[in-house]
Every structure is written in C-alpha cells, then in structure tokens.
Amino acid sequence: MTDFWTVGRKPVQELLFARPEQVDLVYILDNARSHALERLVDICKSRKIRYRLVSEQELSRLHPGNHQGVLARVFQPGFANLAAVLDRGRQAALPLVLALDQIQDPGNLGVLARTLLALGCGGLILPKNRSAALGTIAAKTSAGALNKLPVAHVVNLSRALDHCAEEGFVIYGTTTDSQAENVLTFRPQFPAVLVLGNEDKGIRPGVLKRCRRKLFIPMPGEMQSLNVAQAGAVCLALFAKARHGNASQLIDPVTQNQYAGQ
C-alpha cells in the first residue's frame, strides 16, 4: 500500500470529519452487520462523499492486511470546490480551466496536469464517477503539478459546465468532426474551459452539447489520431499562443523561466 490510502474504521472516520476534501472514494464492506460500518455509510451520505459497497475479496485485493472492512482512497492535496477553480482560472496567466470527461488513464491525467501548470492555466474539473484515480501514477506523471493545481470533483459534469458558462467562461470541446473549428487557426475567447473526452469514446453527447465551440486537430500526416494527453497539449499550446502572441516567450509562472518543453 501507498500513502494514498487510509485504512481501518476509526482512521477513516476521523478523516471523513477532519479532512473530507481529501477523500476521493471510500470502499466499505458490503452485507456486513456492523454499526461502525453503517455509521461510515451515513457519514459519507451526509457529507456527499463518494463511497462504494464492495466484497471482502475486493477489499483484500486493494489491501491484503487488516482493513476492518473499510478503505479510503485519498487525494492528499485535497479537492477544491468549483468556485475556487474558476476564480483561479480567471486570474491565471492563461485564463483556462481543463475539464476531463471520464479520462481513464491516470498517466494521461498526470501529463495533462503538468502541461496545465507549465502553461499557467487555472486548474482541473473532474467528474466523480469513472475518472482515473489521482494516485501514485497520476502523481508521478504530473511531476508535482497535482500538488499545485486546484482540482474540483463534480457530481455532474454537464451541470458544472452550465455553471461555468453562467460565470462567463466560454466552453470548448474537442471533436473529430472536420466541420468544427480548426484548432490551428481559431481565435479563442477567455476565460475558457477546454473539455477533453474519454480515450476511446471521446466527449459524451450530453457534455458535448454544453460546448459552445468545438475544435478539431487536422492531421494530414499518416497518423489518424493522438492520445488524449497529446491532443490536450496541442490544444493548450495553441490557446497559450493566441493569448500571449509568441509561444517561445511563454514564462513558467512557478519558476519564472522560459518554457522549453522539458
């Protein structure tokens, strides 16, 4: 086990009360006749913390030791609320927030977080369900970016994007439709939210409807697709170029050095 988990009934209960913003998902033993475990379910419900009832086999797979019927997956920096992410987005050097619609690969999520921080963007919006875990792999590939970017966990991404639009953000979504705007020539508006979709299915139709402007990446070469981290990097760099003029003069907001793509 890594330090991305809290194990046992009392430690998990204390975490739910003291630092609920750090809790990603609580795994609780199903069909257990235990007042303590029922109490944990009630706490999760009252605090709107995601939980999942699982078998003994699943818990033992996640933690072979004495788990006492409960495990909590932890995002140590803590989740921010949506309003905080949007405030950071408005004030960022590149006033843009990235929304990821059910990205499954934690490596992709980490790489995108690193790109966001390097280009001076505002933060991340993730749906609570069917998103990659913000654990060891995501942390490693982000190179520390997930410790510095605000990350909002939302129950319903479509409704969250509606709220972003009400707050004055222009919602962009990526698509393979060549009739959409060419990302190489478009002129973005800020503040913005860029939505990237699932590695296989792309952006869900209900989420895509919220995207006021749709972008595609032309690929005249022999490759017909990019993975989501690559596509996101292309789009974010072009947002940055449009915002700052000469992309070679971008300054990393943390180190104050010119961004050289290391």
CATH 3.40.50.300 applies to domain 5-74? no
Where are the alpha helices (H) located in the chain, listed in sequence order? 9-18, 35-46, 56-62, 82-91, 106-118, 136-142, 157-166, 205-208, 228-244
- Digit-coded pLDDT (tens) for 183-217: 999 999 999 999 999 888 889 999 999 999 999 99
The confidence score (pLDDT) of residue 4 equals 83
Q: Are 97 and 64 in contact (CB under 8 A)?
A: no
The confidence score (pLDDT) of residue 261 equals 38
CATH of 82-249, one of 3.20.20.105, 3.40.50.720, 3.50.50.60, 3.40.1280.10: 3.40.1280.10
| Position 251 pLDDT exceeds 60 | no
Q: What is the value of pTM for the model shown?
A: 0.80
Helix then strand count (H, E) for the chain reads 9, 11
Residue-range domain boundaries for the chain: 5-74, 82-249
Lookup: tokens for 109: 């999520």
Q: Distance between alpha carbon 95 and the CA centroid of its chain, in Å?
A: 17
48 membership: H or E segment, kind and range:
none
Q: How many CB atoms lie within 10 A of CB 87?
A: 16
| Position 260 pLDDT exceeds 70 | no
Beta 70-74 vs 5-7: how paired, if at all? antiparallel
